[in-house]
Structure 1
Amino acid sequence: MSIPNETEALWHALFDHCEAERTGTFFLACADNKSGQIVLHNGQILGLTYAGANGDGAAEALNRAQGLRFSFTAELIFPLQETLLPEQAQALLSQLGIAEYQRAESPASKPQTEVPRRSVRIYRGRVVQG
């Protein structure tokens, strides 16, 4: 199955925002009037929803979407019905091809330092420090 160029552009933008550890929401819409969101906090995917599906199901639906448009609103954490655990978010990024994208974007390997991650709590669309 070939992925439409618009969806591939979305995944590349998502990978870039994850690597830059950005916080905000991608708003998604396609030609058949389906919509969704991808919510990030410090580069970690909190949730992905599209056309009534969440997580992997939403990613699969997006890979078939035609005429996809998207925008990113920084610092806005859109409330989601279902959130992903950090392991689920990493698995989703792997499934979408972040490793191949990173190799293609930066052929020279650079040393990376491990930064401890804090858990995030969301209440009414806002990050709550715990």
Structure 2
Amino acid sequence: MKAQGRMFNWLALFLLIVAVVYGVWSKEPVGTTALALSFGLSVMIGYYLAFTARRTDTGAQDNKDADVADDAGELGFFSPYSWHPLSLGLGAAFVFMGVAFGWWLVFYSIPLLLIGLFGWVFEYYHGEAQNQ
């Protein structure tokens, strides 16, 4: 993760320089704001990756002598056959479309968004409260 953290920090530095040059040269506030927000996002991601890299073991991507097979193995647990991310994505898409088409669509899509969110968060909590 050290390599990715450094990459995002360099990207943040580049975006800061581009935002300053673009803002001074063009005097256009929307593009300057977008570049400044991109700088902030890159700083957040770079800081998170650098902070996490200090707390975890060195991965194969940080070792210059590593092979591709050194990074093989289990990456984590991913829920099989879950429909909740689809519901959450559709709900979020309809909420954002509601901003463009009309606020009434936001009102009707919030329940779909909440069903997807709560379903995904509490997917594996079925029946645990009954056992106590």
TM-score range, shorter chain: under 0.3
> Structure 1 length as normaliser, TM-score?
0.21
Q: Which is higher, the Rg of structure 1 or of structure 2?
A: 2
Question: More helix per residue: 1 or 2?
Answer: 2
Higher relative contact order (CA 8 A, sep 6+): 1
